[in-house]
Structure 1
Amino acid sequence: MVAEEVRGKGKRGLLRIIFGRTTFFILFMALQIAVLAWIYFWLDDRYQAYGYGAFGLVSAILAIRILNEKQNASFKMAWLVPVLLFPVFGCLFYIFVQLQMETKILAKRIADIRIRTRSYLNQNEAIAAKLMKENRRNANLSRYLSERAGYPVYDKTNFKYYPLGDDFFPDLLEELKAAERFIFLEYFIIQRGVMWDSVLKILEEKAAAGVDVRVLYDGMNSFSNLPHDYPKELEAKGVRCRIFNPIRPAISTSQNNRDHRKILVIDGHTAFTGGVNLADEYINRKVRFGHWKDNAVRLKGEAVKSFTVMFLQMWSVCAFRPEYDFDYGPFLDTGDHFHSPALNMDGYSIPFSDSPLDGEPVGHQVYLDILYQARRYVYIMTPYLILDDDMVTALTYAAKRGVDTVIVMPHIPDKKYAFMLAHSYYPELMEAGVKIYEYLPGFIHSKTFVSDDEKAVVGSINMDFRSQYLNFECAVYIYKNPVIGDIRADFDETLKKCVRMSMESYESLPLMHRFWGRTLRLIAPLM
């Protein structure tokens, strides 16, 4: 009887695999790739008799177009190689990408919503003027973020820094329990387990009590972490849910742009951001790559307004029909209860978001600004190190002019190809004086800059092309707030658990590891 039940379950499981979404997705993608391959070989055979003159001419024209495009030089090189070396395939692929309409539609939708909601993030000119008197260079950065990205500078914001997801989790639950009006969550990864189940239990209770609870997550979750109909499950519990850019069985460049942001807003007066997603490895309840070192920061006060607007903008974008005229006003009242003498609100902060579709690499520019303005030190934590020429120049120039430039990387990687790529940058960085450390206990997932004991960035932005050019990201820039001392202290403690890399340690890596790392740099911008 038991054997028959096991066989029955096995058959049902096999049928689910055969007729399931994943199988359909793979088959449909394979069909599209086969069609593209057939077109390629058909053209290849057709034009081989006449030489590649026609496609050679087209590839030359496309090369001129690529060289004159307004984009990063590394992306230009990544396109020029296939277009010039493989004229038929390279030209077809480039034209196919450029003709994608989904990306253009999404970009227009986002731009329209940002224009319509710009008034919610007007700069308080008195604060901007005060910052200008204190430090013109930081005022210039704030002007860039306000005018080019749409995010103002604030004072009167309190911060609490969490060196680990383990530290962040208890405070997260307590703040959720205190919610009275609304809870907004936007995360790249949500996965069932201790962390998400604990959060969801509170969300259900709050929704039942009349709190407006909304969850927004990236479509990658539907393919790997959550059922495709999970929004319906949450709606049944009273939790409103939307998915950003669901994965579809279609070859589309828009699916390369993911919502990598981590935002949680409670009642308009409290927000969280950082590197921590809502899954058990982020709080070390599940071991994947050794000890998981991540971080988060909590905001209380005026700057929470920007995170509220960020969430609502993306929420509006993800509606079946874009909510262009939705009123954000009722959600932006921060109340008075956070004005407590116990909360240190010195200094300034600028929460900001970065879109890959507006041609303005905001996160990249903020990181470059810190590197070029640093006087004594710049300390960086990042899980990935896949750099463009501008970032390599900024890092090496900082070290060459005597700035203590330190990068902390994982010692146990989550993606081997990314680790090979990262190692390929070590020699030129170390030769210039950049100090590179690897975190021996496991994996670093924090994305943090701190410089000169006066400025820091905590958020979701990695030191790689994907974060700085392809994903939707967010972070908060902090200037002269006491929390910067806590961030610096976390670096000092982390370095005690790291090993410093050297040319000898790089050269001791397997030859093929180094070879593939350097080879992958040809397509690094597209990874």
Structure 2
Amino acid sequence: MPSKPEKQNARKAPHLKKVRKLLNNPVVKSFIYGRVVLIFVLLLIQLFLFLAFFIWLEPYTKYLFGSGLAASFVFLVYLFNSPGKNEYKMAWMLPVMFFPLFGISLYVLMHIEDLPHKLKKQIKLLKEETDHMLALPGFSDALVPYPEIRDIALYLKSEALSPAYTNSDVRYFPNGESAFPVMIDSLKKAKKFIFIEYFIINSGCMWDAILNVLIRKAEEGVEIRVMYDAFGSAAISPVSYEKYLKSLGIQAKAVIPLVPVVAAYLNNRDHRKICVVDGECAFTGGINLSDEYINKMRKLTYYWKDTVIRVTGKAVRSFSSMFLQLWDLINNTSDSFDEYLELPYESYDIPGVVIPYGDNAYNKKDIAENVYLYVLSQAKKYVHITTPYTILDNQMMNALIFAVKRGVEVSILVPRHIDHYITHCTGRTFVKTLTDSGVRVYEYTPGFIHSKMFISDDTTAVVGSINLDYRSLYNQFEDAVFMYKCPVVAEIEKDFEETQALCTEITAEVYKKSPAIKRIVGRVFRLCAPLL
């Protein structure tokens, strides 16, 4: 008869086998031993040592108390007189007030040279190249035949270096699965070059299908450049995957690689979604190159709602320019853009103005937010918004509420399903403030809504990668398209209304019924909302 320990081991054996099988899974192995986990562990060690140092200083508290108090006072004076959003300053107040030396040291560590000197120099060179690009034929003010939007067109040209275009066409796709085959078809027709820039690239049927086309096109001599964010695309081991793509004849670059050092610039992610083919067409919107965005992920138990637009005509120039600017920036080069911009573009006899534009954390101009604020300020009848996140600053919050007080109907569609728990809980506290002020907010009942759109008065629409949160509005590389009196605006509004019909309105009663723990978590983390 087997002994008692042997029986226990026999019972445990199936579980141990499952654990071993899980640990031997290639995906799990690559995650456990991968660069991202290693860097995360090293960062935790740094923070632990940093905190341990201040604990070690505790016996000397009586000597340090006075100096810490003086240091915190001087620092707070400096903080409130420095440029930047007040919400960021308030978020840093808490650690500085309660743990003066630790809080100040952490702030300094996070803000020492948040952009390396060579990148600043490179940005200056790129501005000169882009100024030259604006002087090329087709970039004159004559592209703005609609005087009522001359102000925003001039703003985007001067601040974002993004001209306005007429005679360009825009096609709208209400979900990722309808856009994907069109994107594949466009890639298959490439003859000269393909530019791909996405926050997330992940192995699966979507990316594998695209990669197969890229490999074939590279063999045909088509120039292919691929950029992806090193954090967003962490699942593919960004640095080693870069080498793999290069071995296939594809130029590739992981943007802002993760390093085991606490630094502010690591928060400046490349959140853009851009695909340019031969300078003839460009795709952008909310989707990344991963299976959930086309509802092909097997473990996805709800519907993923996203949107895409395809731009054709001269307006594609701006997408090529945005891509090449960042490509030169991260490769520390300053190549001429002319061969990718001086192309014979098809002209469309279509009314309306199209302005593709980008934003980044380093220009300190808040272009992404200012365009949204412009739409809100100009609206007369309605503003309809879709966004996955609602972590708002005071300026955006006030603009939304002010629009309602002026008699403008403001409706926002947000997801019911959660992808980031803390972000979701925090966002719901902002939703309560909005609904209490008359803004109507709806939960997308079928699943997760990831699209980022503003539509107003049947005339104006903005579609792109820009969320309504601090990260998108201030910290990341983003892109979008401003459209005015284009026929496609009616299609975008129709899709909004059809999507809204599937939603449930979030009223005060609905918010009160949400679990108390979610409301508590949201209120607590709202204190540091700008840092989420």
Pick the TM interval, shorter chain.
Answer: over 0.9
1:317 is the counterpart of 2:329: yes
1:327 is the counterpart of 2:336: yes
Q: In structure 2, the residue corresponding to 1:457 is in which secondary structure? A: strand
| Cα distance change on mapping 1:310 and 1:82 into 2, 3 Å | same
**Aligned equivalent of 2:157:** 146
1:94 is the counterpart of 2:104: no
State the 1:344 CA deviation: 5.0
Q: In structure 1, the residue corresponding to 2:63 is in which secondary structure? A: coil
Deviates more, 1:121-130 or 1:180-189: 121-130
| Cα distance change on mapping 1:22 and 1:365 into 2, 3 Å | closer
How far apart in 1 are the matches of 2:250 and 2:69? Answer: 56
| Cα distance change on mapping 1:99 and 1:44 into 2, 3 Å | farther
- Superimposed CA distance per residue, residues 333-360 of structure 1 (whole angstroms, 9 cap, x where no aligned partner): 3324x33xxx553211111111111211
Matched AA of 2:51: A
| Cα distance change on mapping 1:257 and 1:107 into 2, 3 Å | farther
1:305 is the counterpart of 2:317: yes
CA contact (8 A) 2:276 2:319 kept: yes
How far apart in 1 are the matches of 2:98 and 2:117? Answer: 28
State the 1:108 CA deviation: 4.3
**Aligned equivalent of 1:445:** 450
Q: In structure 1, the residue corresponding to 2:196 is in which secondary structure? A: strand
**Aligned equivalent of 2:7:** none
How far apart in 1 are the matches of 2:186 and 2:24? Answer: 46
How far apart in 2 are the matches of 1:388 and 1:516? Answer: 19
**Aligned equivalent of 1:79:** 92
**Aligned equivalent of 2:355:** 350
**Aligned equivalent of 1:265:** 276
Q: What pairs up with 1:209-288 in 2 under 5 angstroms?
A: 209-221=220-232, 223-226=234-237, 228-286=239-297, 287-288=299-300
- Superimposed CA distance per residue, residues 165-209 of structure 1 (whole angstroms, 9 cap, x where no aligned partner): 011001001111111100000000001111101111111111111
| Cα distance change on mapping 1:375 and 1:12 into 2, 3 Å | closer
State the 1:106 CA deviation: 3.6
**Aligned equivalent of 2:175:** 164
Among 380, 393, 396, the alignment partner of 2:398 is: 393
State the 1:109 CA deviation: 3.0
How far apart in 2 are the matches of 1:19 and 1:445? Answer: 31
**Aligned equivalent of 2:8:** none
Among 20, 24, 30, the alignment partner of 2:38 is: 24
- Superimposed CA distance per residue, residues 471-499 of structure 1 (whole angstroms, 9 cap, x where no aligned partner): 11010111111010110011011011111
**Aligned equivalent of 2:52:** 38
Among 190, 196, 199, the alignment partner of 1:185 is: 196
State the 1:113 CA deviation: 2.0
| Cα distance change on mapping 1:306 and 1:10 into 2, 3 Å | closer
How far apart in 2 are the matches of 1:9 and 1:380? Answer: 42
**Aligned equivalent of 2:9:** none
State the 1:41 CA deviation: 2.1
How far apart in 2 are the matches of 1:83 and 1:21? Answer: 32
CA contact (8 A) 1:363 1:468 kept: yes
State the 1:221 CA deviation: 4.6
Q: In structure 1, the residue corresponding to 2:418 is in which secondary structure? A: coil
Gaps of 5+ in 1: none
State the 1:101 CA deviation: 5.2
CA contact (8 A) 2:176 2:308 kept: yes
Q: What pairs up with 1:374-523 in 2 under 5 angstroms?
A: 374-523=379-528
The aligned length equals: 514
| Cα distance change on mapping 1:330 and 1:43 into 2, 3 Å | same
CA contact (8 A) 2:239 2:257 kept: no
Among 67, 71, 75, the alignment partner of 1:58 is: 71
Q: In structure 2, the residue corresponding to 1:52 is in which secondary structure? A: helix
Deviates more, 1:300-309 or 1:33-42: 33-42
Gaps of 5+ in 2: 1-15
Q: In structure 1, the residue corresponding to 2:483 is in which secondary structure? A: strand
- Superimposed CA distance per residue, residues 409-446 of structure 1 (whole angstroms, 9 cap, x where no aligned partner): 00112111111111101222112211101110000000
State the 1:156 CA deviation: 1.5
State the 1:219 CA deviation: 0.8
Matched AA of 1:413: I
Matched AA of 1:155: T
TM-score of the superposed pair, with normalisation by structure 1:
0.92
- Superimposed CA distance per residue, residues 3-33 of structure 1 (whole angstroms, 9 cap, x where no aligned partner): 99x9899689799787653553344223322
Q: In structure 2, the residue corresponding to 1:375 is in which secondary structure? A: coil
**Aligned equivalent of 2:81:** 68
How far apart in 1 are the matches of 2:20 and 2:294? Answer: 38
Q: In structure 1, the residue corresponding to 2:271 is in which secondary structure? A: coil
1:128 is the counterpart of 2:141: yes
Q: In structure 2, the residue corresponding to 1:318 is in which secondary structure? A: helix
